[in-house]
């Protein structure tokens, strides 16, 4: 009998746990007791699942019957035979991979690992992490031998936070295993619930590499159009008009300029670069793209200040409204949001900045960045308004009512306001 433990109930683990729970007994494990209590009531703070879909699979106690039980108690996952790890893999302040969450979750699984069990990792990593970093932890804690007593797999997550169309079951899944037999077993497990199908990679390292280049490729392409935006701004050419015209060719890749944040695209290239550097190769294109994208916050702040000066607005002590702080539209995820870079850069000019975002949790933003935000539109007017995130609510705003004078600046980071803005990427 298959019984699954999902380790980590965040943006990835919760939808995956719900999906598997439609067919198997599942225990969702997380060390955050508040998170567990909320999920037991059908409340998903990530907004990936609505209350009805979550409650439809929840069970009140762990059992061998189909359904999802959420727990912070290690004993509740002891009788599982598949352990799927979905913890975050961030970078530190020096942009070096931080594997601590993976080490800690591997220690957790190692305490309950039994002969015949399989541990599958979904977290984004560089090639080799599963077998060279995580498996030794599992062996050390459990006392079991890899590929004799227990087995491993890797199936990279492809969750797109806030996307209600490309849900976990509708995204083709890469699978892999530490032995050919394990690979087929892992593939069959996912194939039983993923309607979009699966792709069985020949090895765990191939699957790890495939995941890390997906977002590295996007990062490089966005860096290219960000550089184009800088050039076209100097030439006084509308970047979005250029991209629209170029996009009429059948094989033109449709990327738009902007801030590259979030837990994946802004992080994954550093994982691949780290592994390359360990092998003595310095990846030029990957790191150049990262440097350019990381510089966009400062660039946007500079462009805003130039527009303010041009309009005769005194920059020091100016009232500025930042619309949005999440890393993408219509989503509460604030992980690695680059809006913070813009805020920090503008703060150095002595502006009074109010950040309005109806999607973001003010407590989470304060804990993560030490920044005060509001979920309620301020009853005030502003010298400058920046559309940082294209939430649906922002597109309905009357920007004229938010302006303190006719000279007030509206800067459109996302390129969605058209003539309502005075400038943007």
The per-residue pLDDT for range 288-306, each reduced to its tens digit, is 999 999 999 999 999 999 9
Q: How confident is the model at residue 233 (pLDDT cuts 50, 70, 90)?
A: very high
In DSSP notation, 129-150 reads HIIIIIHHHHHHHH-PPBTTTB
pLDDT at 164 over 90: no
Q: What is the mean pLDDT of residues 66-95?
A: 95
pLDDT at 77 over 90: yes
Q: What are the domain boundaries of the chain?
A: 4-202, 294-424
pLDDT at 264 over 90: no
Task: Say whether domain 4-202 belongs to CATH 2.30.110.10.
Answer: no
Burial classification of residue 11, based on how many CB atoms lie within 10 Å of its CB (0-12 exposed, 13-18 middle, 19 or more buried) = buried
Which residues are catalytic, by number? 264
Q: What is the mean pLDDT of residues 345-372?
A: 96
Looking at the chain, the whole-number percentage of residues with pLDDT higher than 90 is 92
Residues paired with 153 in a beta bridge: 120, 177
pLDDT in tens, 390-408: 999 999 999 999 999 999 9
pLDDT in tens, 97-128: 999 999 999 999 999 999 999 999 999 999 99
pLDDT at 173 over 90: yes
Q: What is the mean pLDDT of residues 328-345?
A: 95
Rounded to an integer, what distance in angstroms lies between the CA atom of residue 56 and that of residue 22?
Answer: 9
Find, among 12, 3, 7, the residue nearest to 29 by Cα: 7
Rounded to an integer, what distance in angstroms lies between the CA atom of residue 306 and that of residue 22?
Answer: 55
Find, among 308, 339, 283, 342, the residue nearest to 422 by Cα: 308
pLDDT at 266 over 90: no
Cβ atoms of 102 and 87 within 8 Å: the answer is yes
pLDDT at 262 over 90: no
Find, among 56, 38, 48, the residue nearest to 13 by Cα: 48
> Among the CATH numbers 3.40.718.10, 3.40.630.10, 3.40.50.720, 3.90.79.10, which is that of 294-424?
3.40.50.720
pLDDT at 253 over 90: yes
- Window from 153-157, 163-167, 251-255 with minimum mean pLDDT: 163-167
Establish whether domains 4-202 and 294-424 are of one fold.
yes
Cβ atoms of 69 and 63 within 8 Å: the answer is yes
Q: What is the pLDDT of residue 326?
A: 96
Q: What is the pLDDT of residue 227?
A: 97
């Amino acid at each position: 009998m298959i019984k699954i433990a999902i380790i980590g109930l965040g943006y990835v683990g919760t939808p995956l746990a719900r999906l598997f729970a439609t067919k198997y007994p599942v225990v969702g494990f997380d060390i955050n007791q508040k998170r567990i209590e909320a999920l037991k009531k059908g409340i998903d703070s990530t907004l990936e699942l609505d209350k009805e879909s979550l409650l439809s699979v929840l069970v009140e106690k762990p059992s061998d019957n189909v359904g999802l039980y959420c727990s912070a108690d290690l004993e509740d996952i002891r009788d599982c035979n598949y352990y799927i790890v979905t913890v975050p893999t961030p970078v530190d302040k020096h942009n070096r991979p931080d594997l601590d969450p993976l080490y800690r979750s591997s220690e957790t699984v190692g305490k309950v690992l039994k002969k015949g069990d399989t541990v599958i990792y979904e977290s984004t990593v560089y090639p080799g992490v599963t077998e060279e970093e995580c498996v030794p932890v599992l062996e050390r804690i459990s006392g079991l031998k890899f590929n004799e007593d227990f087995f491993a797999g890797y199936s990279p997550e492809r969750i797109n936070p806030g996307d209600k169309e490309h849900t976990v079951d509708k995204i083709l899944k890469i699978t892999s295993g530490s032995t050919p037999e394990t690979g087929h077993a892992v593939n069959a497990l996912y194939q039983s619930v993923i309607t979009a199908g699966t792709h069985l990679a020949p090895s765990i390292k191939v699957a790890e590499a495939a995941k890390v280049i997906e977002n590295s490729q996007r990062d490089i392409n966005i860096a290219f159009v960000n550089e184009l935006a800088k050039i076209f701004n100097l030439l006084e050419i509308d970047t979005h008009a250029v991209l629209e015209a170029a996009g009429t060719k059948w094989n033109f890749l449709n990327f738009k300029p902007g801030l590259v944040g979030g837990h994946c695209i802004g992080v994954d290239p550093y994982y691949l670069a780290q592994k390359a550097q360990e092998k003595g190769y310095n990846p030029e294109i990957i790191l150049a793209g990262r440097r350019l994208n990381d510089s966009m916050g400062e660039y946007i702040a500079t462009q805003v200040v130039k527009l303010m000066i041009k309009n005769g607005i005194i920059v020091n002590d100016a009232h500025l409204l930042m619309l949005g702080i999440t890393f993408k539209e219509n989503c509460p995820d604030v992980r690695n949001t680059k809006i913070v870079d813009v805020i920090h850069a503008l703060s150095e000019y002595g502006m009074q900045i109010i950040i309005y975002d109806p999607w973001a949790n003010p407590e989470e933003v304060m804990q993560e960045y030490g920044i005060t935000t509001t979920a309620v539109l301020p009853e005030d007017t502003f010298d400058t308004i920046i559309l940082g995130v294209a939430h649906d609510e922002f597109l309905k705003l009357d920007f004229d009512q938010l302006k303190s004078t006719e000279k007030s600046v509206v800067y459109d980071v996302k390129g969605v306001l058209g003539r309502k803005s005075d400038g943007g990427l």
